[in-house]
């Protein structure tokens, strides 16, 4: 059980190390993708419900 937790921590640390190595262009691209996804999600939830009968 403890080995599994240590493995997860190591994987998490590797992810963080990779993120630190990203260039400014890559960071900007990732941020733009995140913004676009956030916008799509907000638009989906802010739609008005359809008019008419609801059964």
Q: In angstroms, rounded to a whole number, what is the distance separating the alpha carbons of residues 20 and 16?
A: 6
For the whole model, what pTM was predicted? Answer: 0.46
List, for residues 14-36, the tens digit of each pLDDT value. 988 888 888 889 989 999 999 99
| Both tokens assigned to 47 | 């739609």
The whole-chain average pLDDT of the chain stands at 87
CA dist 28 → 10, 36, 51 (Å): 26, 12, 40
Token look-up 């916008």 returns: 39
Per-residue DSSP letter, 52: S
């Amino acid at each position: 059980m403890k080995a599994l937790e240590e493995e997860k921590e190591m994987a998490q640390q590797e992810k963080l190390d990779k993120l630190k190595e990203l260039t400014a262009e890559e960071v900007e691209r990732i941020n733009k993708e995140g913004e676009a996804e956030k916008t799509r999600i907000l638009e989906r939830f802010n739609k008005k419900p359809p008019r008419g009968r609801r059964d």
